[in-house]
Amino acid sequence: MSVIYERVALIGLGLIAGSMARAMRRGGLAKEIVGTSRSAETRETARDIGFCDRVVDTAEDAVIEADLVVLAVPVGAMGGVARRIGPNLMRSATVTDVGSVKRHVIEQVRPFIPQHVHFIPGHPLAGTEQSGPRSGFASLFENRWCLLIPDEGTDPDALRRLRSLWEAMGANVDEMEADHHDLVLAVTSHAPHLIAYTMVGVADDLKRVTDTEVVNYSAAGFRDFTRIAASDPTMWRDVFLANRGATLEVLGRFTEELFALQRAIRTGDGDRLFDYFKRTRAIRRGIIEAGQDTKAPDFGRVDAV
């Protein structure tokens, strides 16, 4: 593969930036990767593990002469970072982000991007419950979707170049409008995370379920909730605050369905439960057919797959 960007600046050195750095290195996609993070501790770790070619102390310095700038911080911090880097952005550079919410990020970031710079928001639909500078890995984006959010004014060449970077990192790329993205993600990711957080919280509150029982018998379904509910608290606080409207809309519908199923259980309406579960099982099959998961049984052990 060949070089796509001369100098890539990664602002934020966590799971997503770390995976991008590794994937770009593996493919020789950037001549130089410069990184920075808010805390001295993360910058130090990044230097120790050779996260990128150079780690600098400030975002303002990181973006100098970068032809691609990637904002990889929590969505609530994007606007503040954009404000700081705006004046130092190189003419014709592309700024993108990897935030899990799009409308809010666009509103926060766009005002600080100069006319002579391309701004193309993005969101790789790939992640784990791990975070921090040591958590990234090169194959994170393989066969995962990355959604780019161009608008009428987006430069086609800049878009093509960014798309080719994501494809070279293994992702399938699609384009989407910002509000639609936020609704889709509220259904597929944000509401499920809130439900997992709630379920784990409920189990913790139930004094009848002792700690040992929760831990020992967790493979009965609860374990998957605990994995999701172990996700980074800062990132997820920001996601819910930034995608308030769509998340509340989806949770409203969820609550209605939950009440309907609750009623079916109370009234002994087994047919309703059966039909509902039959429909949801088909969705799982669709995900497997689309190559977004395997059908191997997952007992939570690496060698189970």
Binding site for ligand NAP (CB under 6 A): 12-17, 37-39, 42, 72-75, 77, 81, 98-100, 123-124, 127, 131-132, 135, 232, 234-235, 239
* Cβ-based neighbour number of residue 243 at 10 Å: 25
For residue 20, the minimal CB distance to ligand NAP (Å) is 9
- Which H, E and C letters describe 106-121, residue by residue? HHHHHHHCCCCCEECC
| Residue 214 vs 230, nearer CB to ligand NAP | 230
Single out the residue of 145, 140, 147, 129 nearest to residue 232, CA to CA: 129
What residue ranges in 153-233 does DSSP mark as E strands?
A: 172-175
Closer Cβ to ligand NAP, 50 or 252, answer by number: 50
Min separation Cβ 90 and ligand NAP, Å: 21
Tell me how far, at minimum, the Cβ of 46 lies from ligand NAP, in Å. Answer: 8
* Pairwise CA distance, residues 27 & 36, whole Å: 22
CA 137 to chain centre: 14
- The alpha carbon of residue 16 and the mean position of all alpha carbons in its chain are separated, in whole angstroms, by 8
Q: Which C-beta is closer to ligand NAP: that of 36 or that of 94?
A: 36
Shortest CB 56 distance to ligand NAP, Å: 13
Which residue, 118 or 144, has its beta carbon nearer to ligand NAP?
A: 144
Beta carbon nearer to ligand NAP, 89 or 253: 89
State in angstroms the smallest separation of the CB of 36 from ligand NAP: 8
Helix and strand totals (H; E) in the chain: 13, 9
